Structure 1
Amino acid sequence: MNIQQIHNNLFSPRPKSIFLCTTSEEILSYINNKEIINNGFTIRGGGHNHESYCVQDGKSVIDISGLKTYTKNKEGKSITVGAGLTNLEIIYLQSKNNPDTIFSTGECVGVGTAGYTLGGGWHLLCRQNGLSADSVKSIKIIRYSKSSGKFIEDIITKGSKQKTEIIINGENVRKGKLFEIILGSGGGNFGIVTEITYKTYNLPNMYDVEMTCEYASDKKKELIDDITKWLEHQKTDKTFTSIVRLVKFGDKIKIRILARVPEFKIKESQRIFLEMEFMKNFGKYSMSKFSPYGIGELSEYKEYVSNSDDEITRTASTQLRLNFDALKKMYEKIKENAKTKGIDSYLGSPFYYELSHQQDSNITDNSSNYSCRTPRKHKVTSAFVKKTADLNSVITQVADYFFTNNSNRNTYSICTFHAVGGKAGSGKTSYAFNENDFLLQIQSWLPENFNDKNTENNMVDWVNKFREQLMKTNLLEGAFINFLNDKIPVQDYYKNYEELKMYKLEIDPYHMIDSSPLSKK
C-alpha cells in the first residue's frame, strides 16, 4: 500500500509531500504558505488519472479523498457531496438516504466523483439525463485570488450573474461563466473543488439489455454488419444509451452490446438483436431490471471498503465517516511506508483516508478481469466519431486493426463505442462534442503485478498507434478529457482551448496548480 500510488502502475511518482485533508479549512491553511505557492501542487481525489497528473515527481499533493460529506437537499431533488467521495460511495449513501432518486454516476464505481464530473462524466443514462457535468447545480472551489494574493473558497453556481474579481478582456467574469469554464474542462485545472451539488432524477423504469458472443474469424463481415446495424439504430434513437465493446486477451475475442433502455423500447431492442445474423446465431441474450441500489452494489461496497456495516457510522448531519481507529492504524502503516521512500506526509484532523487506495485482494489476474478499482498498468486513448462519418467504414477500420494487431498476448485490450448525443453535453460546459453520436475509447491493461518492460512498451505503442491510424482516415475527431492520453495534443480535447488557456493564466497566474494538460507551459 503506497501513499503516492495512483491507479496506473505504469507510473511510480515520488512527490515532495502529500497532504491528506478532511476539510476546506485544512486545505486553505496548508496551501496558503510561501513554499506551496512558489513550488506548486497537484490534486488527487480517486487517483484515476491515466497519465499521473494528480501525483508527480517533486510536487506537493493535495489529497482530497477525505472530503466525504453527503447531504440530501430539499425534497431530495438534489444532493451535495464532498469531492472525496467515489461514485460507489455516493451510490451507497443514496440507497440509504434518497433511494427514490438517482444521480448521474459513472460505470467505474471506484472513480472519484470530482475528477469524473469535471471531465464531463459519461454514464449509461447520459442520453436521457445528460453527462454528469450537465447535472451539476453548483460547486465549491478553492481558487487563487489575485486581488488578495491568497487562495480562497468560492461557491460557483450555474447561471449566476454575480461578478468575480477575475478580469477577462477588461470585464469582471460572472460566476455563471466561470461555472461553464470549469465544468467539462477536466479535474485540477482552475482550483481544488471541495464540494459538488448534483441535480437528482426520479428512479427510471429501465432495463439493461445485453448481447454477448465470441468472435469467429470467418464471420468478420457479418459481425461488422451487425455492429453497424446496432450503431445506426443508436444514431437515430436518442431515448436510450448503449455501449458496443470488443475485448481481446490472447487468442480470445469477445463482443458485448449493453443497452439501458426504457420499458417501452424493450421489444424494439429485441427486434434489432434478432435482425443481427451473427449475434443471433452465436450470441447470448440477457435482460434485467435496472436497479442502481440493488443487493449486488451494496455487497460490492462492503467488499470494496473492507468494513462491515457496524464500522460505518453517520453523524447527525448525514456525513459519512469511516471507522477512525481502523483508518488511524492504516495511516500509520502508510506513513511509515512513505518515510522509507523519503516522502513527507501530513495528517489532517480528524482523519479519514480513502480506502480505494488499497489493493482489492479479491480480484484475480485471470484473463477475463480488469478493474478500475485495482491499480494496474494500462494505457487509454479516445476520439469521437464525426457526425458525417459512415459508420460501416468506421467499424471496419476499427475491426481491421483490432483483430489483426495485438499489443501482446498478456494484455487485456478493449475497444468501446460509447453512445453520446441526446442530452449528453446539453448543459453549458467546456465539453465540446455534444453534436457527436459516438465516443470511441481504446485501452489495454496488464495483469496485476505483471512486470516486463518490453510488454509494457508494446502495450503503450499499440494503443497510441491504434488512434494514430484511425485519425488518418478523417472519420474521427477530438478526444475525451476523462480518457487522458499524453500523446494527444491538448487542443484536441476542447473546442474552446484558447479561451480555457486565457482563463487558466488569469486564475492561476503563477502556475501553481499542475494537475492537467492545461497546465503545460
Structure 2
Amino acid sequence: MNATIEKLREAYCSEGVEVPEILSNCSENHEKYDQHRQIFNRLFQFMPIAIVLCETTQQVSVVVKFTSKYALPLRVRSGGHDHEGECSGTDTILLDLSKMSKVEIDRERKIARIQPGIRFQSLTTELAKCDVMIPHGTCATVCIAGYTMGGGWGPWTRKHGMCCESVIGATLVLGDGSIRELSMNSEDAGDRELLWAIKGGGGFSYGIVTEFVIETFDLPDEMIKFQIEWNKYHYVPENKLFALRDATPTLNVLQAWEKVIASTKPDANRLVGTNLKIAAKHAGEGEHFNPHTVSHNCVMYGYWEGDENSLQKFIDIHFRHTGTYTGPSIEKAGRKYKDLPYGDHLMNDWDRYSFHNMNLLKQGLEGTPFPPDLDKPAPHKITSRLVNAEGLGKDGHYKLLESLTSPLVLPGNKDLGLFTYITLGAITGNYYQHVITKEQKDRSAFPYKDKLFTIQYQTWWNETNKEKEEGENNHVYTRVNQALDWMEVCRDYDIPNTSGAFISFKDSSVPTKTYFDKSYNQLVEIKRTYVKDPYNHFRSRKTII
C-alpha cells in the first residue's frame, strides 16, 4: 500500500473518525480510480496520489489537517466542472465530495440544506417534489459548490438573481481543520465575512464547504424551457460541409435579444432567464465584413413562467421582425406537472453544440431540440467578459460580430466535431434592477451584479466515444490549434462597453483580480484574517492570493 495512504488511514484512526474510501493508482480497484480521477474538461488528465471519497465534515477535516501536516498539495472536487482543471492535479491529495449528496428541504422556513456533491439533475428534481426551487444552473451534471461560490448564473437569474444571493449559511472547514458554522445573522464578524466571501468570491480560497443553507422560492405552476433558432444548419453532401439555410442578419437577433433582457416590463419579466448562442464562422483573409448582413447560426434558450400561448405571444412581439426562425421547441415542468421530473425535463446544458445533431443532419434528418450529448465531458477552452449596464451599443455589436467571423475558424470544423461559438447569459432583470436594494447587493462578493450579460467564448472538440477512442489519431488535431488561437484573439478583442471576466468561465490567462474586481481587496483581507491557512494550502491558479 502507498505509504502516504497508510499514514492517512492512521490519521483517521488516531482521531476516531471512520476511514472513508481511498483510491490510488496502485489500489486493487484501479478502474474505479481511473474513473474518479477524470474531470469534466478532458483536456486535462491528472494522476492524484490519492482520491479520498469523504462522506462527512469530520472526514474532510482530517484530510485538511493531514495535508497541512505533511505539506502535501490538496485539491477539492464536487462535480469536477472547473474549466481550467483546478479541481484536481497530479501528485495531489484529491478530496472528492461526490458522496456528500444529501439535501434536506424545510418548506415552512423556505430553506434547503444542500451538500456539495449533489448534481443539479437530482437536486432540482428533489426540490420540485416539494414545490420549491433555488436559482440553479443550466448544466444537469454540475454540482452546487463551485457553481454557487463562483456566483451561480443560470436560467432563474433575471428573476431571482445569482444563486449566491440566496445563500444564508454554510458549514466550512478552515485551513487548520477547524469547522465553522456560518450564518448571515451570526454575532461573530469572522463568520459574516467568510459567508460573504463564499457568496461569489470563488471556490477553495476560504475553506471547504460541506453544506450550504439556501433560501428557496415557490415553484410556479407552469415553467417552459424553450429554444428558437435562426439560420439553422443543413448538410451539403456535394461540398461535404454544413451551411446555413437562411441569411437572417445576426445583428437583428442580437439587438432584439439585448433589448428584451434590458426590459423590466411585465412580459419581459416572465422571461426569468435566457441565453443566446451564436456560432463563429469562417471568413477569408481580407474578406470584407458587413455587420448589417453577416449571418451566423443563433439559438435563443429561455425559461418562461407561463403557458404556451403567452410564450408564443411574447416571441411574436419581440422576435418576429428579426427574420426567419424555427421554434419554439419546448419542455415543461412545474406544480402542474408532477409526473414530469424537473431534472429530466428542464435541466440540459444550454451552452453546447451537439455532434449527435450534426450527424443526424448529415443523414438528412432533423436534429433533436435537447440532444443526449450536451452534458457529456469533453476537451474544451473557455474565456469570458461582461457587457456594461448600458449595453453593447452600435460599435460593440459590430465588434462582437466581427470577432465571430474569422479566418481562424476553418470550414469543415463542425464535420469533425470541433465547435467554436459564444453564449450570452442575461444577468440583468427585475431582481437586480428593482427587487433588491443597494445594501442587499453588498451582501455577496459577486462583483458584477450591474452588468447586462456575460459573453462566453467557447471551443469544444472530441465529444463522442468514437473520437475519444481515436485519441491522437484524429483529424480534429489538424485544426484545434487554430481554434484555440481564435480564442486568444477573442480574449483580447477590442469590444466597446465590455469589461471584467466571470470566474465560473475560468481562463487561467485572465488576471485573478479581474474576476473579483471591486471585491478583490476585501477577499484578500478575509483570506489572510479568518481562513487559518498561513501557507496558502487552499490555492490553485485562480484562487485568492
Query: Closer, same or farther in 2 for the Cα pair 1:37/1:94, shift >3 Å?
Result: farther
Sort the Cα spacing of 1:363 and 1:155 in 2 relative to 1 into closer, same or farther, 3 A: farther
Q: 2:176 aligned with 1:190, yes or no?
A: no
Amino acid across the alignment from 2:515: Y
Report the counterpart of residue 150 of structure 2 in structure 1. 119
Residue 115 of structure 1 aligns to a residue whose secondary structure is helix
Q: How does 1:164-313 map to 2 (within 5 A)?
A: 173-204=189-220, 205-214=222-231, 222-237=249-264, 239=269, 240=271, 241-247=273-279, 254-263=297-306, 266=311, 267-276=313-322, 278=323, 281-286=324-329, 289-291=332-334, 297=341, 300=344
**Quick one: which amino acid aligns to residue 477 of structure 1?**
S
Post-superposition offset of 1:222: 3.1
The answer to whether the Cα contact below 8 Å between 1:370 and 1:447 also exists between their aligned partners in 2 is no
Corresponding residue SS for 1:414: strand
Deviations 1:423-478 (A, max 9, x none): 25965211111111111111111023154555333332222221211xx2342100
**1:418 and 2:420 correspond:** no
- CA displacement at 1:68 relative to structure 2: 1.5
Partners of 1:247 and 1:138 in 2: CA distance: 40
8 Å Cα contact 1:127-1:420 kept in structure 2: yes
Change (3 A) 1:476 1:374: same
Moved more, 214-223 or 475-484: 214-223
1:9–1:376 contact (8 Å) kept in structure 2: yes
2:120 and 2:173 map into 1 onto residues whose CA distance is 22
**Residue of 42, 53, 77 corresponding to 2:75:** 42
Partner Cα separation in structure 1 for residue 278 and residue 67 of structure 2: 50
Equivalent residue number for residue 84 of structure 1: 117
After superposing the two structures, state which structure 1 stretch, 43-52 or 217-226, moved more. Answer: 217-226
TM-score (norm 1): 0.76
How far apart, CA to CA, are the structure 1 residues paired with 2:321 and 2:338?
32
Q: Of the two structures, which has the highest relative contact order with CA contacts closer than 8 Å and spacing of 6 or more?
A: 1
The offset of 1:156, in angstroms, is 0.9
The answer to whether residue 483 in structure 2 is matched with residue 459 in structure 1 is yes
Q: Indicate how the Cα distance of structure 1 residues 246 and 40 shifts in structure 2: closer, same or farther if over 3 A, else same.
A: same
Following superposition, the deviation at residue 414 of structure 1 comes to 2.5
Change (3 A) 1:299 1:25: closer
Say yes or no: does 1:431 pair with 2:455: no
What is the CA–CA distance in structure 1 between the aligned matches of 2:374 and 2:248, rounded to whole Å? 32
Distance 1:262 1:199 in 2: 20
Distance 1:30 1:60 in 2: 8
Change in Cα spacing, 1:372 to 1:464, as seen in structure 2 (3 Å) is farther
* Aligned-partner Cα distance in 1 for 2:451–2:68: 44
Q: Please report how far the alpha carbon of residue 35 of structure 1 lies from its aligned counterpart in structure 2 after TM superposition.
A: 5.5
Rounded Cα–Cα distance in structure 1 between residues aligned with 2:396 and 2:245: 20
Match of residue 355 from structure 1: none
Residue correspondences, number: 440
Q: Distance in 2 between matches of 1:104 and 1:255?
A: 25
Q: Secondary structure at the match of 2:71?
A: helix
> Residue 291 and residue 38 in structure 1: after superposition, are their counterparts in 2 closer, same or farther (change >3 A)?
same
Residue 38 of structure 1 and its aligned partner are, at CA, apart by 1.9
Structure 2 CA distance for aligned equivalents of residues 518 and 299 of structure 1: 31
Counting only pairs closer than 5 Å after superposition, residues 491-510 of structure 1 correspond to structure 2 as 491-495=513-517, 496-506=519-529, 507=531, 508-510=533-535
Aligned equivalents of 1:282, 1:207: Cα separation in 2: 19
Q: Following the alignment from structure 1 to structure 2, what is the Cα–Cα distance between the partners of residues 22 and 515?
A: 23
**CA drift at 1:40:** 3.2
Shift of 1:31: 2.5
Question: What code does the residue aligned with 2:380 have?
Answer: H
Conserved? CA contact 1:42–1:62, under 8 Å: yes
Structure 1: 5+ residue runs without aligned partners? 145-149, 164-172, 305-361
Residues 42-77 of structure 1: per-residue CA shift (max 9 Å, x gap): 111100011111111222111111111221125261
**CA–CA separation in structure 2 for the residues paired with 1:57 and 1:190:** 22
Q: Residues 85 and 112 of structure 1 are in contact (CA less than 8 Å); yes or no, is this contact kept in structure 2? A: yes
Q: 1:405 to 1:32 in 2, by over 3 A?
A: same
The match for 1:151 is: 177
SS of alignment partner, residue 52 of structure 1: coil
Counterpart in the other structure of 1:481 = 503
Alpha-carbon distance, 1:137 to partner: 1.6
Instruction: Please report how far the alpha carbon of residue 143 of structure 1 lies from its aligned counterpart in structure 2 after TM superposition.
Output: 0.8
Whole-angstrom distance in 2 between the partners of 1:257 and 1:3: 34
Structure 2 residue 163 is the aligned partner of structure 1 residue 132: yes
Q: 1:17 to 1:365 in 2, by over 3 A?
A: farther
Say whether the 8 Å CA contact 1:185–1:431 is kept in structure 2: yes
Instruction: Find the aligned partners of 1:290 and 1:269 in 2 and give their Cα distance.
Output: 20
Question: Is the Cα–Cα contact under 8 Å of residues 48 and 93 in structure 2 kept in the other structure?
Answer: yes
Indicate conservation of the 8 Å contact 1:107/1:124, yes or no: yes
Given that residues 334 and 342 in structure 2 are in contact (C-alpha distance below 8 angstroms), is that contact kept between their aligned partners in structure 1? Answer: no
Query: Is residue 82–residue 195 contact of structure 1 (8 Å, CA) maintained in 2?
Result: yes
Q: Percent identity?
A: 21
| Residues 128 and 34 of structure 1: CA distance in aligned 2, closer, same or farther (over 3 Å) | closer
Distance in 1 between residues matched to 2:244 and 2:278, nearest whole Å: 14
- The answer to whether residue 403 in structure 2 is matched with residue 401 in structure 1 is yes
The equivalent of 2:31 in structure 1 is none
Q: CA RMSD, aligned part only?
A: 3.2
Distance 1:207 1:283 in 2: 17
Q: Which amino acid aligns with 2:498?
A: L
User: For 1:177-232, what per-residue CA distance to the aligned partner results, in whole angstroms no more than 9, with x for missing partners?
Assistant: 22111210121111110011111111124444532122687986833123202312
Residue ranges of structure 2 left out of the alignment (5+ in a row): 1-33, 233-242, 284-294, 349-353, 360-366
> Cα distance 1:34–1:235, how it changes in 2: closer, same or farther (>3 A)?
closer
